[in-house]
Structures are given as structure tokens and as C-alpha cells.
Amino acid sequence: MQTIALLVCSCIFLFIFQKALAFWKAIRAIHNHPGHRTLFSPASFLSNILPKVAGITLGPNHLFDDKHDTFAAAGWDIHTAVSAFPQASTIVYLADAAAIKEVTSSRARFPKPVHHYSALTFYGHNIVASEGEEWKKYRKISAPAFSDRNNKLVWDASVDIVQGLFGDMWAGQDVITVDHCVDITLPIALFVIGAAGFGRSISWKEDSVVPPGHAMTFKDSLHIVTTDFFFKLIFPDKAMGLTKRMQRTRKAFEELRLYMVEMIHERQHAEKVQRHDLFSSLLAANDHTLDITTLSEDEVIGNIYIFLVAGHETTAHTLSFTFALLALYPEEQDKLFEHIKSVIPDGQKPTYEQMPLLTYSLAVFYETLRLFPPVTAIPKIPTEDTSLVASNIRGEKCTIPVPKDADITICVPGLHYNPRYWKDPHAFKPSRFLEDWPRDAFLPFSAGARACIGRKFFETEGIAILTTLVSHYKLSIKEEPQFAHETFEERKARVLAARQGLTTTPLRVPLVFTRRK
């Protein structure tokens, strides 16, 4: 018995020694550059479910919660995280604009680690979760849909859908109260990407009806898939029936695939009409009759899924934060309203041609994206042993070794809240985007060759929705008895609270929309 116990203790000691040695080597490889030293990797499953505990885990929301604080504590705009489990690993975090530009401009040296994007490949390979020749193929097929001609379609669809909200859902009401703003912004954004991207028009009244052959609406299935995707990521299919929520998630994945297959078949068998939307580009690459098939049906479905997610959740959440900020800062809302009135005469419908004149709408939208970037981490991986130069607020520089097996994470909140680039970075100041501003320190759409292909689509939609809604309704925070005595800072923290899902997600934004006289 003593022999067995001695053997077990020896194995445990050997295991701990090996882990400690690997941990020490990882720290030595980066010259012990300042940062976090934790038991569990920030990329591990445990770190994404456990709260932040010093020396143990960084927590699930650490990049957004910490913003630039960890960089300030390290004394450099590059810091590191070395962890022991599940294996010794190193992450190099960047909030230095020059270093980030070097990384995003050197695709061969710092490619995208596609294995980090498994949550986006449930339905098939796609433009986001791909690299190299495969990514080039998807981008070449998709790019024609993001033209100026289609952006006008995006603008018109956005304005019509918001005005449809006024006429179909808010008719006869001067005051509308919503418990969570995403209940409004999610369907708006979904209807826009459906109409402008896929030729799938949905009215506000139709949206609540489950069509024959389905168990839930298109909107609900997409919302559940993007909200509860982690169940599908963590658990095998056989385990997806353990709870009602997991059963609902499994059904949502099935329903969304069915909707996408129906969309494909309906368009393939519809009367041929010349369209220039994203759906047409994807289907043309899968047209067996033309003998030009470059996309399989799974690839078509995978890319439909990724554009639906990117085209509705990102916009919906950004608009929710935008409306919350305008409600919290009525003086900024008044500035925006007055600027809109100076561009668009009373009673007139905003046009795509007026978009370049709506500079304050764009400034408000950009400032929201700076404060609440949809994606907080942009991963890269070095293909060789290399180094990066870090700077700090004192103008000093230092060179940091970056081993081939390290992960590089561009920390978008760290960059967006970096006082080297943004004066008073925690303040909501849209006017900063009306002046000369640091473009290399603004990364809501990533940068370089892998920058978001739908940036102009997203901006066009967001400005059209924001302008149309603010020109007709005044926004304010819903008054609730349980929060009657909170300070402004407490209210701000409550209304702007966020978590990390596929994108930065508002927890609850209770608003009141009051019709302007």
C-alpha cells in the first residue's frame, strides 16, 4: 500500500514539476514582460465560466472589464498572460496602435488562427472562419454585393423598416416603453439584413407568426442560435436534450438551417430577376446549371449564417448602446436632433444622398463603437519567432520577444480606452469624431486585409436607423421604483452593463420613446 501511495505521490510531483518547468520557460521566453500570471489560460473553458480570481483566472469578460487598466498597470501598451493549464501558454495583448498596425498589415507573418472560430462553423466554412486561399475565394464571391448601389438599397430598407415600426407597431401611441431596447433593435436589424442582403422582406406584423412547417419564427431561431451557441459548442448532440433550454437551442439550430435551405431553394426556383444582393452572389457561386460551382451548399449556408449573425446582432447591440447613451446624455441627443433638422427638412424622408451630410449621426455611432466595440479580441498567431515594440504614455519603447507558439490578441477595448490616443477616454464625446482623430487607434471593424467587408453596409444601416428614429422620437431612461434613489453613475453602470457573447451584448436597456411634436 505504501508503495502505491509513493508511486502516486511521485507521479503527482513529476506532473507538477513538468508544469512548473514549462510555465517558467514560457515566462523566460518573453523576458518576463509584465502582465498576468494565472493557473488557467484565459482561453480555457474554466476561465470563461469562473469569475476573476487573482492568480487563478482572468474571468469571462476581462478584456472589456479591464479596458486599458491592465496595460497601465504593466506600464506598457503591450502586456502578457502566461498560464499553466491546460498547458503552458502565452498570450501577448496589444493596445499599441503601431504594433497593431504592424500585425494587421503582415498577413503572412501574423495569420488568423481559424481554430478560434469554431463557434461560427456550425453550418459550414465561411468568410470569417477561414484563411488563405479559402478566405480569398469567399471574399471574391461576396465583395460585389457590398457596392455603393447595394448600400443605397440598405439605406432605403433601413428607413422603410423604421417607419414601418412607427406605423405598424407604435401607431396611435405618443409614448412607448420598452423593457429592453434589443427587443426593438434586433428585429429592425434582422429585417434590414433580410431585405437588403437576402431579398427576404418581413413586415412587423408577419414577424410574430410561425410559418407552416416550422416550430418557431425566423427571428426567434436566429436569436436563440446567437445567444445560446455555447451549448452547441460545449455539449455533444446527444447531450442537447438534458434541459429545456438546451432542447430549445437544438431546435433553434435545426429551424435556422431549415429556413436557410428554404431561402436557397425559393430563390433558385423563383423567376429570374437581376439582383445585386449578397444572396445572389453566394447562389451564383453554387449554380450547377452554369457549371461554375465554387461553393458547396454547406458553404453557401455557412456564409448565409455568418452574414446573418454579423448583419443583425452587431447592429442591434450597437444601436441599443447608442440609444442608451443618448438617453443618458440628453444634451448630446439634442445636438444630434438639431443637426438632423439642419440637414433634413421637417416631414421629409432621409435619403442616401444626404448620408455624407449627417456627420453628427456618424460621430455618435463611432463614439458608441469606441466605447462598446462589438468584438473585444482580434486573435492572430505568429508563424515564426518574432518581436514587437511596445510604447507607453511616457514615450518610452521596449522590444518584446514573441515566440512562434504564442497567441497574439489585439485588445480592442484596451486600444479604444488608451489615453495616449483618446483624451478623457471613458467619456461619451461624439464631437471628438468631428475633428482630426487617431484612425489607427479605432478598430471596431478590425484592420488590414481582414477588415470587415461589410463596414459600409453596417455604417449605412446604423446611420439611417439612428437618424430616422431620433428625428421622430425623444429617448429617455425608463423610470423604475426600485432604482428611484440611484446616482447618475449607478444608473449609467446599470443601463450600460454588458456581457460577452458572440458580440458585446447589453444586459438590459429599459427605454422610453416619446413622439416629438
The single-letter code of the amino acid at 303 is N
Which residue shows C-alpha cell 501511495? 5
DSSP state of 303: H
Q: What is the largest CA-CA distance in the chain?
A: 90
Which of 437, 457, 459, 455 minimizes the C-alpha distance to 446? Answer: 455
The strand pair at 89-94 and 407-411 is best described as parallel
Sign of CA pseudo-dihedral 486, 430, 309, 231:
negative
Which residue shows C-alpha cell 479591464? 66
Q: How many residues are recorded in the chain?
A: 517
Query: Is 452 annotated as contributing to ligand binding?
Result: yes
Residue 345 to residue 342: CA distance in whole angstroms: 7
The DSSP H or E segment spanning 408 is strand 407-411
Which of 246, 243, 244, 219 minimizes the C-alpha distance to 232? Answer: 246
b/e map of 3-28 (b: 16 or more CB within 10 Å)?
eeeeeeeeeeeeeeeebeeebeebbe
The strand pair at 407-411 and 175-178 is best described as unpaired
Residue 510 to residue 480: CA distance in whole angstroms: 9
| DSSP letter string, 89-146 | EEEEEE--HHHHHHHHH-TTTS---GGGGGGG-SS---SSS--HHHHHHHHHHHGGGS
Q: How many CB atoms lie within 10 A of CB 220?
A: 18
The strand pair at 386-391 and 511-515 is best described as unpaired
Residue 450 to residue 268: CA distance in whole angstroms: 31
DSSP state of 57: B
Binding-site residue numbers for heme are 452
Binding-site residue numbers are 452
